[in-house]
Amino acid sequence: MQSVIVIPTRNRAAIAKNAIRSVLDERLDGVRVMVSDNSTLETDREELAGFCEWLDDSRLRYVRPPESLAMPAHWEWAIEEALASYDDASHFTYLTDRMMFKTGGPREVLDVAARYPDRIVSYNHDRIVDHVRPIHVDHYPSTAKLWEVPTTRLSWLVSQAAFHHGLPRMLNCIVPRAVFDRLRKRFGNVFASIAPDFNFCFRCLDVEDSILFLDKSPMFHYALNRSNGASVSRGEMTPDNADFTANLPVDNSIRNYATPIPQLNTAVNAVFNEYLLYKQESASPRFFDIDFQKYLELNAVEMTEVSDPQLKAEMYGLLERHGYRETPATPRDQNWLKRARSFIGRLKMPPASPGLEFAELEDAIEYVRNSSHSTPQSPSAVRELLHARELPLQ
């Protein structure tokens, strides 16, 4: 099986190098890496191009779009370049520049794809929380099993403000070429809208009856200070967030225009925007009316992370004007909130255990890349939540 791992990057040469190494270090047959550098800073372009040239690895290709592109347009340009350039490849995935595969992670993913070559295979990812000190690591619970999940179930969960890790967002799944052919035939492209990862996700939930979910974390993400989504959750305007905002195809004041509260700038609202926009445009019966109270509650959960007291008060006031009232959570509500926080992966959470704190980022990366640590999860809970069927891994 021939596979291509696309690494889209923009002004993050230093961490993009880590993503590249995490794949090439595996020495896997039939795996190529295409780095698509959309940087606007010449220093980043030169640094990353020079690094790729220095590696002198036949499996690695460095490309640039003809001009600086907004994120959705760049993701679209990169997948078209990969599909055309690697006409012998059967599978493709994205590894963003803030992500790295764990040791052995690519092989795990590719083994499943080889066993089920016609299916989208999604997976989870752990994270290093490195924008605070001490740095800590979050290992997400897993069953280490493979599940077949009806896509209508995933869609319904989103409508209930339960964003599951298995949602296929291209950056957490390996995808057969045939799926891209179906998406292009139906939509004219693979990625569009404002958030290309979730735009891709909801298109897949419509064109596929089910996906496979490998309930493990073969990869991890970090560099939260460079994350556009994480900065939105904290209510901060970082250079990365400013760059993303400047390239929005809509007025920033109504960037989430398909949602009940377009002016609300949260990562949660951005996901709902993609869901509701696709629901409206497609009129697909596979997408459901959202639970408005849970929509309000999940936005409120994210807003606890906003660091500016005045901005936080303004955001809560906006929610309250739309009917939000804070109420004591029932045990069932607590379970829903726990799952919601876990998926968002941007909200402040305590360390998984006292032993997973680090003073230096390099030490945290070394630990996560090579650790076999796993927090068990009940298979019955996954089966019940996802309406899933277990499939053999071997």
Can you give the pTM of this predicted structure? 0.91
What rounded mean pLDDT belongs to the chain?
A: 90
Is the pLDDT assigned to residue 391 strictly greater than 70?
Answer: yes
Least-confidence region, from 268-282, 313-327, 331-345: 331-345
Question: Each residue of 102-145: pLDDT tens digit?
Answer: 999 999 999 999 999 999 999 999 999 998 899 999 989 999 99
pLDDT at residue 335 tops 70? no
Distance CA 244, CA 228 (A): 7
Report the distance separating Cα 111 and Cα 108, nearest Å: 5
Give the residue, 243 or 129, on which the prediction is more confident. Answer: 129
In the predicted structure, residue 52 carries a pLDDT above the cut 80:
yes
More confident residue, 309 or 81: 81
pLDDT at position 241, please?
61
Residue 394 has pLDDT above 90, yes or no: no
Question: What is the pLDDT at residue 336?
Answer: 52
pLDDT per residue over 141-195, tens digit each?
999 999 999 999 999 999 999 999 999 999 999 999 999 999 999 999 999 999 9
Confidence band of 270 (pLDDT split at 50, 70, 90): very high
Q: Indicate whether 80 pLDDT > 80.
A: yes
- How far, rounded to the nearest angstrom, does the alpha carbon of residue 73 sit from its chain's CA centroid? 17
For 136, phi then psi, to 5°, come to -140, 165
Q: Which of 133-142, 279-288, 346-355 has the highest mean pLDDT?
A: 279-288
Q: What was the pLDDT predicted at 71? A: 95
